[in-house]
Amino acid sequence: MPLPRLALLVALAMLAFAANSLLCRIALRDGHIDAASFTALRLASGALALWLIVRLRAGAASPLAGNWPSALALFAYAAGFSWAYLQLSAATGALLLFGAVQASMILWGLCRGERLTAGQGCGLLLAGAGLAVLLLPGASAPAALPALAMLLAGVAWGVYSLRGRGAGDATGSTAGNFLRCLPLALLLGLAGLPWAHLDGAGVFYALLSGALASGCGYALWYAVLPALRATQAATVQLSVPLITALLGVLLLGEPFGTRLLLAAALLLGGVAWVLLGRAPAR
């Protein structure tokens, strides 16, 4: 794939990932929809978009690829993500999510016998310091329960990513996992009926998040992933919290204070140090 086209497609995929945070935050912050309804509509529209993509793609695998454990991890991520954004800013949520995803995957590798160099160990400590700076009590610290929900959502997405490694057809597997989430999404929506509220804008944001930012975004990412080395793929995702923060300031009017700036520099810099210290194998 020509480099300019690859760069454009990667940039579009990262924008789609950032858009999930922005769409969820604006929908919930402004009271357009409740978290359970947003999650249910996001998963349903994502499932439909991915099913259509897989069906239209020549020689595609069955959309029921994937498995139930991965679907449960996907559902846990989506539910925790929505609930956390009731209170977290878009930038804070994205930073917590990204940190938890990368930390869970790195720690899993260590449990499986991977070893870090001294430099990578310093990077891991640096990332931990960034997370501590973000979460330590203070006037600008995020609320504890939403922060915990986003961290758990990140761990769930890390588990989902680890389970998806080596999948022959990542898009088909993701489509199948989204489809398996539909009964869970229905149950969540029914359980949340007493607190449900939504308007046209809320429904639109949820459908846009599911069909475009999630469904099309994941499909696009999996299309370009084979052209990237493992370290390139992991490192380029460092841009997502920064894109989210910038767009959160420009589009949502969110503050980007000193604490968040310092935490982002430490966390993203530390994770980059760990990732770039790995062997550049595919």
3-state SS of 4-66? HHHHHHHHHHHHHHHHHHHHHHHHHHCCCECHHHHHHHHHHHHHHHHHHHHHHCCCCCCCCCC
Asked if 197 and 31 count as a contact pair (C-beta separation under 8 A), the reply is yes
Q: Which residues of 88-118 are buried (b: 16+ CB within 10 A; e: fewer)?
A: bbbbbbbbbbbbbbbbbbbeeeeeeeeebee
In this structure, which amino acid lies at residue 144?
Answer: A
Asked if 65 and 169 count as a contact pair (C-beta separation under 8 A), the reply is yes
Q: What pLDDT score was predicted for residue 58?
A: 60
Whole-structure pTM over 0.85, yes or no? yes
Q: What pLDDT score was predicted for residue 86?
A: 95
- pLDDT values of the chain reduced to their tens digit, one per residue, 282 residues: 677 888 899 999 999 999 999 999 999 999 999 999 999 999 999 999 999 998 887 655 554 688 999 999 999 999 999 999 999 999 999 999 988 988 888 888 888 887 878 888 888 888 888 888 877 766 567 889 999 999 999 999 999 988 877 667 888 899 999 999 999 999 998 998 988 999 999 999 999 999 999 999 999 988 888 888 767 777 788 889 989 988 999 999 988 778 888 888 888 888 888 877 754 444
Rg (CA), the chain: 18
Residue corresponding to tokens 């604490």: 259
Q: What pLDDT score was predicted for residue 280?
A: 45
